[in-house]
Amino acid sequence: MAIQVSGITKRFNDFTALDSVDLEVRSGELLALLGPSGSGKTTLLRIMAGLESPDAGGLLLNGEEALGLKPRDRQVGFVFQHYALFRHMSVFENVAFGLKVRPRGQRPSSAEIRRRVAELLELVQLSPFAGRYPAQLSGGQRQRVALARALAIEPKVLLLDEPFGALDAKVRKELRRWLRKLHDDIHITSVFVTHDQEEALELADRVVVMNQGRIEQIGTPAEVYDHPASAFVYEFLGQVNRLDCTVEGGIAHVGGGALAIATDGGVQGPAVAYVRPHDLGVTPAAGGPARISGIHVVGPDARIDIDLAGLALEAEMDRERLATLGIVAGDRCSVHIDRARVFAR
């Protein structure tokens, strides 16, 4: 176990940022802390690094009690959201900083420092930029300098705060893949914070979904996406239709009987059914109960707005399927639900 968080609580005045959080980060894994802003994910990351101290709870880093340790003694690499590169230092100086500030006895020779920095710049593909200043680099380059700088101290754990938050969409995607590959190569235990579910699902070995200072669910990307543990996780991960319903005898009735969904039991009375857009089937039917109110083509996929007796639904399918069905806006249709999850209200 690389990191063990037990019962960590942190309050800022009246606001509870973390409410008795337990979490285990396994050695060598890439873990995502996913949640909306204010869910406590960044606070948890900063507590791991020693930049905040919790009001209660315990923290073990590689089996050692860490809360009493200063940030400098924790051997963690931290990549800040806005990189926090030293603006008056060149790329080389930035990466070398962690080695140069070591006490005399542990400090590598300057030749050794040069060799290590060159190696790291090679790793992050920035060798030609060693002499540049942060202001002369693009966002993606700064991000990689920040990563090289964090790795220079050979940390046991790498912590990244919204590592792609400040980048534009294309660079973000490239850098994401690159980071995944880097992690597969060097296998350093890593935790990153994000509010972008796509990022978490694509990049992480395991995802921790957080909300209001608590952990809602921990699991592999497939687990949290396919089997959300709570209504919050369902809503937060991906697009979803949220349907108020009443469950009677295992059947959820939506919109005054316009739609019936079979449930796996357990829930009775007022409830909410969650249906992913791609789990909502559409069949053209001349006298059907629903009407296609709009079709939006986004790249290879199509998003279909459906009006079911005043209830707005959203379906999703690929364009081929759309062409096969041959539906256009204004057509009548019937809808069926392939898969739904019902939570008591």
Partner 1 sequence: MPADTVTGTSVPMPPVRSALSEPGWVRILLIGGALLFLALFLLLPLVAVFAEALHRGFDAYWTALTEPDAVAAIELTLIVAAISVPANLLFGVAASWCVAKFDFRGKNLLITLIDLPFSVSPVISGLIYVLLFGLNGLFGTYLRDMGIQIIFAVPGLVLATIFVTFPFVARELIPLMQEQGSDEEEAALVLGASGWQTFWRVTIPNIKWGLLYGVLLCNARAMGEFGAVSVVSGHIRGETNTMPLHVEILYNEYNFVAAFAVASLLAMLALVTLVVKTALEWRFGDELAATRH
Angle of helix 139-152 relative to helix 91-100, nearest 10 degrees?
20
The reply to whether 78 sits near partner 1 by the rule CB under 8 A is yes
Which range binds partner 1 by CB under 8 A, 70-78, 120-128, 249-257, 294-302? 70-78
The answer to whether 204 and 31 are in contact (CB under 8 A) is: yes
The reply to whether 123 sits near partner 1 by the rule CB under 8 A is no
Closest CB to partner 1 among residues 97, 343: 97
Q: Which of 175, 167, 80 is nearest to 125 (CA)?
A: 175
Q: How far apart are CA 152 and CA 146, in angstroms?
A: 10
Which residues have a Cβ under 8 Å from the Cβ of 169 and sit 6 or more positions away?
none
The reply to whether 68 sits near partner 1 by the rule CB under 8 A is no
Q: Which of 27, 68, 102, 283 binds partner 1 (CB under 8 A)?
A: 102
Q: Which of 26, 88, 336, 345 binds partner 1 (CB under 8 A)?
A: 88
Q: Which of 144, 149, 183, 341 binds partner 1 (CB under 8 A)?
A: 149
The reply to whether 82 sits near partner 1 by the rule CB under 8 A is yes
Give the shortest CB-182-to-partner 1 separation in angstroms: 19
Closest CB to partner 1 among residues 152, 340: 152
> How many residues of this chain interact with partner 1, rule: CB under 8 A?
27
Q: Which of 97, 196, 303, 305 binds partner 1 (CB under 8 A)?
A: 97
Q: How far apart are CA 124 and CA 147, in angstroms?
A: 8
Give the shortest CB-30-to-partner 1 separation in angstroms: 19
Q: Which residues sit opposite 20 in a β-bridge?
A: none
Closest CB to partner 1 among residues 40, 77: 77
Q: Which of 1, 101, 222, 262 binds partner 1 (CB under 8 A)?
A: 101
The reply to whether 26 sits near partner 1 by the rule CB under 8 A is no
Which range binds partner 1 by CB under 8 A, 28-36, 93-101, 117-125, 334-342? 93-101
Closest CB to partner 1 among residues 69, 295: 69
Give the shortest CB-73-to-partner 1 separation in angstroms: 8
The answer to whether 209 and 202 are in contact (CB under 8 A) is: no
Give the shortest CB-222-to-partner 1 separation in angstroms: 33
Query: Position 87: which residue type?
Result: R
Site for partner 1 in 163-182 (CB under 8 A): none
Q: Which of 50, 163, 213, 277 binds partner 1 (CB under 8 A)?
A: 50
Give the shortest CB-149-to-partner 1 separation in angstroms: 7
The reply to whether 343 sits near partner 1 by the rule CB under 8 A is no
Q: Which of 317, 343, 345 is nearest to 261 (CA)?
A: 343
The reply to whether 35 sits near partner 1 by the rule CB under 8 A is no
Q: Which of 37, 63, 87, 111 binds partner 1 (CB under 8 A)?
A: 87
Residues that bind partner 1 (CB under 8 A): 49-51, 70-72, 74, 76-78, 80, 82, 84-88, 97-98, 101-102, 133, 135, 149-150, 152-153
